[in-house]
Amino acid sequence: MSYNLLKGKKGIIFGALDENSIAWKTAERIHEEGGTFVLTNAPVAMRLGQIKDLAAKTGSEIIPADATSEEDLDNLVAKSMEILGGKIDFVLHAIGMSINVRKGRSYTDEKYDFTTKGWDVSALSFHKVLQSLYKADAMREWGSIVALTYMAAQRVFPDYNDMADNKAYLESVARSFGYFFGKEKNVRVNTISQSPTPTTAGQGVKGFDGFISYAEKMSPLGNATALECADYTVTLFSDLTRKVTMQNLFHDGGFSNTGVSQEVIERFTE
């Protein structure tokens, strides 16, 4: 169902890899709601994913950019404004990667070169994106910028590894930069703390299937899907949430406020 919530709005979407990814679903929903956008991903991810199909489906152009490169980001912002014909209303940062996780190194045995690279891609890249937009004065007034995060930033999920630290940093950047973006440009910056979601990125985490079913049993409303996250993101990109900024918004079926559920108790008293 479409409400035309984003009619005439223009933006940039980072991180759409394949149809399981939240960024991909969000792009589809933005398109349905009347928004137009540029798609961007790292050149290596673009070779692996099916982003060309999404571009064709939504009538979007693709600009390859390494989100850790200031030069690439400045170019992305300039080109996007050219393609979209003006300032930008919304940006989705949906990027995360841990080489320690990929290489099977535990949190107590990090290889710090891997840690630094993962932090740059997953967390510092958000600051770089915000700074590029800010310096270019690229955001339209009342625009909205959203990054995707996870509750491991606040609580321990042992196998989430160094990504937990990256997400904590990411959320801090949203608050800190959100202050300046709000004060000076009337632009809002928020993070969405999403349920565990079976995306290509999510499934890299050890024990993921067991964890998804645990979260499902813990959440009064059940886990939020990628499509539901896309819907929530659309509301944050719309004019209906103009005064929401510097927030970390839990979109997790109630998981974050549940101490224990009846289902979990029953599982342990069988």
Annotated binding site for NAD(+): 15, 21-22, 95, 167
Count how many Cα atoms sit within 13 Å of the Cα of residue 172 in the half-sphere of its side chain.
11
Contact between 145 and 222 under an 8 Å Cβ cutoff? The reply is no
The residues, any chain, with a CB within 8 Å of residue 56's CB and separated by 6 or more, are none
Please state the residue numbers annotated as binding site: 15, 21-22, 95, 167
The residues, any chain, with a CB within 8 Å of residue 167's CB and separated by 6 or more, are 96, 122, 123, 149, 150, 152, 153
Residue 185's identity, in one-letter code, is: K
Contact between 5 and 34 under an 8 Å Cβ cutoff? The reply is yes
The residues, any chain, with a CB within 8 Å of residue 252's CB and separated by 6 or more, are 151, 193, 194, 195, 215, 219, 223, 224
Q: Which of 3, 112, 134, 160 is catalytic?
A: 160
Q: Which of 112, 150, 179, 214 is catalytic?
A: 150
State yes or no: is 169 an active-site residue: no
Handedness of CA 252, 53, 28, 132 (dihedral sign): positive
Radius of gyration of the chain (CA): 18
Q: How many CB atoms lie within 10 A of CB 4?
A: 11
Element containing residue 139 per DSSP (H, E): strand 139-149
Q: Could you give the 3-state DSSP secondary structure of residue 236? A: helix
Cα separation of 254 and 238, whole Å?
A: 23
State yes or no: is 112 an active-site residue: no
Q: Which residues are annotated as catalytic? A: 150, 160
